[in-house]
Amino acid sequence: MVGDGGDFAALARTRTPLSFATVSEMRLGKAGDHCAALMRMRRAGLTLSLSVDASLIGPPNMFELMRTTWNLGVPWQGSESADQKPIGYSEIIRMATINGATGGGCPDLRAILPCLFDIFPQIAE
Give the chain's end-to-end CA distance (angstroms, integer).
28
Which pLDDT tens digit goes with each residue over 14-40? 989 998 888 888 877 776 688 888 998
pLDDT score of 54: 67
Domains of the chain: total: 1
pLDDT score of 27: 79
* Mean pLDDT (the chain, rounded): 81
Q: What are phi and psi of 17, to 5 degrees?
A: -70, 155
**Euclidean distance between CA atoms 53 and 15, whole angstroms:** 22
DSSP state of 34: H
Q: How far is CA 6 from CA 10, 28, 89, 97, in A?
A: 6, 22, 28, 27
**Euclidean distance between CA atoms 109 and 25, whole angstroms:** 27
We report the CATH number of the domain holding residue 114 as 3.20.20.140
**Domain residue limits at 60:** 5-124
Which pLDDT tens digit goes with each residue over 82-94? 899 999 998 998 8
